Amino acid sequence: MAERMDEVTVANRQAPVIEPGYTFGTVTDKISSIVLNRPTSTGWFIGFGIGFMVTMMLLFALGYLFAKGVGIWGINIPVGWGFAIVNFVWWIGIGHAGTLISAILLLLRQSWRNSINRFAEAMTLFAVAAAGIFPLVHTGRPWLAYWMVPYPNTMQYWPQFRSPLIWDVFAVSTYFTISLLFWFVGLIPDLATLRDRAESRWAQMIYGILAMGWRGSARHWHRYETMYLLLAGLATPLVLSVHTVVSFDFAIGIVSGWHTTIFPPYFVAGAIYSGFAMVLMLAIPIRKIYGLEDFITDRHLQNSAKVMLATGWIVAYGYGIEAFMGWYSGNRNDTFLMWNRLHGPYAILYWSLLLCNIAIPQVLWIRKLRTSPVALFFISLVILVGMWLERFVIVVMSLHRDFLTSSWGMYYPTRWDWMTYIGTIGMFLTAMFLFVRILPMISIFEMRTLLPEAEVKPE
């Protein structure tokens, strides 16, 4: 955060992280007026309305699920995991970009992160919330899900901690809690700004309560900065551990295609890959609609594209190692799994995955496309589809033809599977719409630190 915008710009000879000419006052006005002064547009209501209706569809699908049970889904033996786990892993993966941007890029002193960390963190929270629905309802009796938590009970029973599924409970709930804390404490100084600038009594009171009486004292800032740095240091191994633990759900099992040591790094890279794709898919329309091109500049788009290019290659390496191990292990089942991916009944999905995740994103090597918002938006969409296919390939294609040919089968999602999946996208969008309307989507105080006038001149 200490780094100033002019130094960064000169050093890299790139688009600046914030366009010149802004002052503390204009940065504050520009971001806070989106929440406080700008009239809610018709477009916002339409977008929110669509998201809300899709959320209602989710509730309908879940309500029917609670009434009927998981039999309404396409899952059966041999494929018992299906869409629920595919979507869980997909959403959790998307949720990785927020904490990566806030924590890891903070520790690496990448000051360009300051304008995208806030809404990336919000995106993380909503994505993890969407992810959390799936394993919960997939248990079949979600009203007993609290049994996974160690609490004293009359059954005199305790969870057993040798199961990766219990690790998941701890990893995902910790990740959600820490992400929420990180996001909320990051908001406190900005909530104080909104409190002091709001004109309506209600807004003053609500923002005032949330700001908890923040007044920007030097003592407070000092402790705050220490806490923020420590939290970033804690969140960094945490974000890497979450998808590692999710990959353990697979890697600890003996099913071909799951039982491999490449899974943790390859899952984490894939998570960051899809997370940045989602950040771009949100950032590109948001900056256009709210006129924030001066804060979310081409530099941000380009840097995110580079991160996607790099993590995309780690993912490609993972696919390569899977194929190589299928051959090199000499294990008949592993070899068959690879054959089945390339030529089996779901082969079209595997080839689409290679197309979406490896082939198409290579156009990001072209500088012109890296700085073109429209191109990036569609490439990000392709990557998100590709990452979803990856989870489908891993979950379904490994299970549907395992060791005994007599137990082979096919998996087809039902309309309830699709409604639940699309419903969570609606829930995610609804939450994002609410977020950009009622909270500052860019961290105002961190943007102030990027301005040249923030520098303290030596006497």
Partner 1 sequence: MKTTPIYGIMAEFDSASDLVAAARKTHEAGYRKIDAYSPFPVEELAEAIGFHKNRVPLVTLIGGIIGGGSGYLMQYWMNVDSYPVVIGGKPYHSWPAFIVPTFELTILFAGIFAVLGMLALNGLPMPYHPVFNVPRFAMATKDRFFLIVFSTDPKYKPAEVRQFLENLGPRSISEVPS
Contact status: 446 vs partner 1 (CB under 8 A): yes
3-state secondary structure of 147: helix
212 touches partner 1 by CB under 8 A: yes
Residue appearing with tokens 């292990």: 329
Choose among 89, 71, 88, 92: nearest CA to 80: 71
Count of residues binding partner 1 (CB under 8 A)? 69
**Cβ closest to partner 1, residue 220 vs residue 306:** 220
Please tell me whether residue 328 binds partner 1 under the rule CB under 8 A.
Answer: no
Tell me how far CA of residue 49 lies from CA of 58, 75, 289, 292, 435, in angstroms. 14, 32, 17, 24, 14
User: What is the C-alpha separation between 407 and 24, in angstroms, rounded?
Assistant: 66
Interface with partner 1 (CB under 8 A), residue from 88, 126, 224, 295: 224
* Chain residues 13-32 in contact with partner 1, contact rule CB under 8 A: 23-25, 28
Nearest CB to partner 1, comparing residues 27 and 338: 27
The CB-of-243 to partner 1 minimum distance in angstroms stands at 13
The one among 98, 189, 264, 270 contacting partner 1 by CB under 8 A: 189
Q: For residue 264, is the peptide bond before it cis, meaning its omega torsion is within 30 degrees of 0? A: no
Q: Which is nearer to partner 1, 208 or 344 (CB)?
A: 208
Q: Which position among 197, 259, 306, 437 is part of the footprint of partner 1 (CB under 8 A)?
A: 197
Pick the binder of partner 1 from 17, 75, 137, 192 (CB under 8 A): 192
Element at 159 (helix H, strand E): none
DSSP 361: G
| Spatial separation of the C-alpha atoms in residues 95 and 130, rounded to whole Å | 10
Work out which of 37, 177, 329, 362 binds partner 1, going by CB under 8 A. 177
How far apart CA 235 and CA 157 sit, in angstroms, is 32
**Does position 223 bind partner 1 by CB under 8 A?**
yes
Min dist CB 151 to partner 1, Å, is: 11
Q: Does residue 115 interact with partner 1 by CB under 8 A?
A: no
Neighbouring C-beta atoms of residue 409, cutoff 10 Å: 12
Q: Residue 12 Cβ, how far from partner 1 at the closest point, in Å?
A: 23
One of 58, 125, 238, 427 touching partner 1 (CB under 8 A): 238
Q: Per-residue DSSP letters for 285-342? A: HHHHHTT-TTTS-HHHHHHHHHHHHHHHHHHHHHHHHHHHHHHHT--HHHHHHHHHHH
Q: What are phi and psi of 206, to 5 degrees?
A: -70, -50
Among 52, 170, 313, 418, binds partner 1 (CB under 8 A): 170
98 in helix, strand or coil?
A: helix
How far apart (Å, rounded) are the C-alpha atoms in residues 245 and 127? 17
As measured in angstroms, the least distance from the Cβ of 219 to partner 1 is 5
Residues of this chain, 357-396, that bind partner 1 according to CB under 8 A: none
In the complex, minimum distance from the CB of residue 121 to partner 1, in angstroms, rounded to a whole number:
14
> Taking a C-beta distance cutoff of 8 angstroms, is the pair 238, 219 a contact?
no
Contact positions vs partner 1 (CB under 8 A):
1-2, 23-25, 28, 150, 156-164, 166-167, 170-171, 174, 177-178, 181-182, 185, 189, 192-193, 195-197, 208-209, 212-227, 230-231, 234-235, 237-238, 241, 245, 248, 445-446, 448-449, 453-457, 459
